[in-house]
A and B are shown apart, each in its own frame.
Chain A
Amino acid sequence: MISWLASLFANPWMLAWLPAVAAPIIIHLWNRRRYREYDWAAMEFLLAALKKSSRRMRIEQLLLLLLRTALILLIVLALAEPFFGAIGAALVGGPRTHRVLVIDGSFSMAFRPAEKTLFEIAKQKAIDIVRASNEGDGFSLILMSETARPIISAAAFDREDVVEEITNLTLPHGGARLLPTVRSIEQVVGRVRNENKKLARSRIYFLTDLGRTTWADSSGAGQSSAELADALQRLAGQGEVDVVPLAASVGSPSATGPVNLAITDVRIPTAFATLRQPVDIEVGVAQWGGTSGTDAVVELLVDGARVDQQVARVEPGESAVTVPFTYQLTVPGEHQIEVRTSGDRLEVDNRRFLALPVKDQVRVLCVSGKKDSTTFVVLSLDPDHGRTSDSIVRADVVAESGLLDGDLSQYDCIFLCNVAQFTAREAAVLKRHLERGGGLVFFLGDQVRADRYNRQLGTAEEATGRILPGTIKQTVEADEDNFFGFDPLDYRHPLVKVWENNERAGLLQPNVLKYFRLELAGDAGDSAADERRADEAEVAVALAYENGDPAIVESRVGDGRVLIMTTAGSKSSVTRRAQGLRPWNYLSTNPSFPVLVQKLWRRAVSGRLNERNVAVFEPISGSLSDAGSEQPLSVLRPAFGGRSSQADRTVRITPDVGSAKWSFDETDQSGIYRVDHGDGAGQQLFAANVNTEESDLARIAVEDLPAGLTAQPSASEDSDVEAVVEAPPTPIRQSILWTAFALLFVEITFAWWLGNRQI
């Protein structure tokens, strides 16, 4: 009832004054009971006069009462501010429309042409459309973002609820995908049509800045454009589609858009940070729009404190300028790095974050399957054996049987050298290590039992670990007096990039006698499921033998990385030849070996940093310190959209029962997310950053919109929405007030005439 009244009146609570219309009648009756008494001699004349005048008097009194009652009624109505169109529609049942409000949620909508951002203007226009609509109209609300989120997917009829939803919208810091949005609109429109037959018409409003990044596909060529054009055409067939471009002041469509600076990248080239060495931080800065370059001031903030600043000359164009910073961290633990610039009207992409866990040293565990299997590896990892304070790696060595003895969570990387086999329990421990973002490097050798590897760590369904990127097959041995050399595969993989143009360093020197052939998942006619799994694991061959067999293969498992070298990492693995026992390879005595080992562990642990730093809308996740725990976690989101209080920004998540992992996908804002495990394990920091595709503020021309989409006049802060909504329900308060004034005048005149005409 209240919502129905709210659709008819702007201030329905004012109708509470309606009983006041009875006031004149009550006063009249009360006055009749309040009289003076007089003896009266000339009663005959009074009675005669009364007899003659009673009818006239009754009519006059009635008229006066009607006038006064109508006067109060009109004033109450005027205070309630009825909508003419709404009243008319309510009385006669006018056409009802399903209005779908689609608000562009790409972060370019955070552009601030004047006082308000485009997103704020869009919200206000959407509210105006809701308020200006007819009684009985239904509303749906969709935020066009990366995921095309329907905020109201059914038809809502309570305007105030819709207005509240619009008001509560916050702008995500992601892009906007038009095709999923159009499909989402189709679904919403179809469902509402099925559920509510009275909403015969549909009208869809796109409130957008017409950003080229979002809309380019709608006017372009290619498969996605054709698909989008089809979807838009279908949509246009279902109802009217209005595009309300926001703020013409953004720039002419043909231009490149206004000047916009953005931090495009913040990265640690070493992929890890320790207290032993200063951290190198590379910052990418780019400028879109404009014709001349900008001297961008780039600030570096560590844990919220500004520690460095540089000025970089940035020229317009898509290539970013790299600004290097170096900073020595002094405290181990979680650190947040923030890089800022300023000087434009779009602030979202002027900041970029990096969550950086820092340790005193990188801990590496080397598991030896045979005597001396790890000697050269340990030497390569920590040549000083921890004797100097500069060593960033501390390597511990255990025998094969000691894998389960220690706490693996303190190690960043585990080297498994010539380990013969793994138990199921060992495979599970390794799997968990990987899922936590740890690294795993395999060196095979003469102790290795391929069938056991494949059973516990392979890709087979029954395997416990499913760690290996493929299946270990038989060994391959070179002919007498021959060695296998390496094929660097054009140095495409980062692991071997350093040897490009450095062939004399000896990596490619043929010195391998024997290796295990590794058949990668997805090869050799494996099932589609295997291929999909291989894709998910991002299996990559970093180095191959000259015959094409993989020598070093990288894959992802959970948050961690696995690198497997199919030959031995020491000379302790031997093979019998005509000349006697010969090592599997002479790699460990190659000058490139220490470099290779360094590259391997750095590559293996890089997953840890990557998993802490995601793009907006990518989920953040991690392993539970206590697997299967149902202890809830709390995630403190970055401050945004006016939500500054910690309580407002905190989200509690409860892991699935029995799961070893937690995940949080509400990363629609850029910034630092603090995850508190609540069990004394402390906080973990995660950074979500914007995709700077949206930093290009150029927009498409209204004329380039696909057929079927009607472009409305550009809306700015001050423009109104009359053109957008047909038959706007006019507030008729002014007319009612004028009528009330006229009635007041008539009442006063009439009452005066009644009171004075005989005198």
Chain B
Amino acid sequence: MEANRKYLDPQMLAKLEGLELRAKRVIEGYVAGLHRSPYHGFSVEFAEHREYAPGDDLRYLDWKVYGRTDKYYLKQYEEETNLITYLLLDTSESMRYASNAASLSKLEYAKCVAASLAYLVLRQQDSVGMVTFDDQIRHLVRQSSNPSHIKQLLHVLEDATANRKTDTGRIFHDLAERLKKRGIVLIFSDLFDDVESMMTGLKHFRHRRHEVILFHLLDPAELDFPFRQTTKFIGLEELPDVVTDPRSLRKAYLEEVGQFVRAVQRGCRSNNIEYVQIRTDQSLEIALSAFLSKRMLHTA
């Protein structure tokens, strides 16, 4: 229950009441639910007619239409299925960074977002699975739509600590192979890794027909670089320390960060990956409700 209180704020969840995580695309699933399934014929809800083509299954021929028009039309039904949501949480060392301007570290922030979304998905009776990773997969929780599944997820989140380097490219490839069922892959990471290998990994998800939503979590200090006095920056993830005058470096740093973000955004655009940048000084409910509202708007 401790983890429940920590990552699921009832007030925030109340504000998210009425919002749903909707898949933009068709999702494979077995349980009837909110989402469209690529499989026709097993559902009771008629979808449309189409002309018969040789080789079509005659079971779906609409004889009533043939009787009225002497034309062969096949009946097509829309099958409703459940949504599988995979929550991929980066727990590399860089995710534990929190500046003074942010109340939560990137990892904690990501945990809150992931927990909230898991709760939402389970509440809409879809199934949700979770993976935590750094340079290896640390936890992998199979998807389930059982409401009590949230406890397991929260437990995993509670256990997740940021200590190691990251290797997103390899991890994404690995996970793309292991997550067989198509669904929505939600990735929470600061993406401080090689952009090219990471994009290759993300492409793999897309190749597997997953819908990928990339939550790019950045601390406000990483975006603004507000330091003024001479500072010793202690490198995380085995990177060296640097003593420098931050004011004279700020411009070059911001350019570097800007290039990185633009490279990520460009990669996401070209691979139909939804990119969501979240500053950790942003209010969690605003960030989530903005994301969910926008999504509902586009999928309505």
Contact = CB atoms under 8 A, between A and B. Distances in A.
B252 interface: yes
Interface string B188-213: 00101000000000000000000000
25 contacts: A31-B230, A32-B230, A34-B230, A35-B229, A35-B232, A36-B231, A36-B232, A38-B233, A39-B97, A39-B233, A41-B190, A42-B94, A43-B233, A43-B242, A44-B239, A45-B253, A46-B244, A46-B256, A48-B256, A49-B249, A50-B242, A52-B252, A57-B245, A61-B245, A758-B250
A38 to B, nearest CB: 6
Interface of B: 93-95, 97, 99, 106, 190, 192, 219, 222, 227-237, 239-240, 242-245, 247-257, 260
A49 B192 CA distance: 15
A528 interface: no
A57 B219 CA distance: 26
Contacts of A49: 249, 252-253, 255-256
Interface size classification for chain A = 20 to 34
A36 B239 CA distance: 18
Chain B interface mostly: mixed
A60 B248 contact: yes
Chain A interface mostly: helix
Contacts of A36: 229-232
Contact of A41 (B219, B247, B253): B219
Q: Which 7 A-B pairs have the closest CB atoms?
A: A49-B252, A40-B233, A41-B97, A41-B94, A45-B256, A758-B251, A758-B250
A50 B239 CA distance: 14
Contact of A38 (B232, B252, B257): B232
A722 B230 CA distance: 55
Contacts of A759: 247, 250
Given A36-B231, A37-B231, A43-B236, A754 B257 contact: no
Contacts of B233: 38-40, 43, 46
A43 B235 contact: yes
A44 B252 CA distance: 12
A757 interface: yes
A658 interface: no
A39 B230 contact: no
Given A53-B249, A758-B251, 8 more contacts: A37-B234, A38-B227, A41-B95, A42-B257, A43-B237, A44-B192, A758-B248, A758-B254
A127 B236 CA distance: 74
A754 B256 CA distance: 19
Contacts, number: 105
A23 B253 CA distance: 31
Contact of A42 (B192, B243, B250, B255): B192
Contact of B242 (A41, A47, A61, A754): A47
Contacts of B239: 43-44, 47
A757 B251 contact: yes
A45 B255 CA distance: 9
A53 B243 CA distance: 14
Scoring B94, B190, B240 by chain A CB atoms within 10 A of each residue's CB, the highest score goes to: B94
Contacts of A35: 229-232, 243
A52 B251 CA distance: 11
Nearest to A34: B230
B260 A45 contact: yes
Interface in A717-744: none
Scoring A35, A46, A755, A757 by chain B CB atoms within 10 A of each residue's CB, the highest score goes to: A46
Contacts of B240: 43, 47
Contacts of B242: 40, 43, 46-47, 50
Nearest to B194: A44
Scoring A34, A42, A43, A754 by chain B CB atoms within 10 A of each residue's CB, the highest score goes to: A42
A50 B249 contact: yes
B223 to A, nearest CB: 9
A757 B257 CA distance: 18
B94 A37 contact: no
A67 to B, nearest CB: 16
A53 B234 contact: no
Contacts of A50: 242, 244, 249, 252
A705 B247 CA distance: 76
A747 to B, nearest CB: 16
A5 to B, nearest CB: 39
A61 B249 CA distance: 13
B231 A38 contact: yes
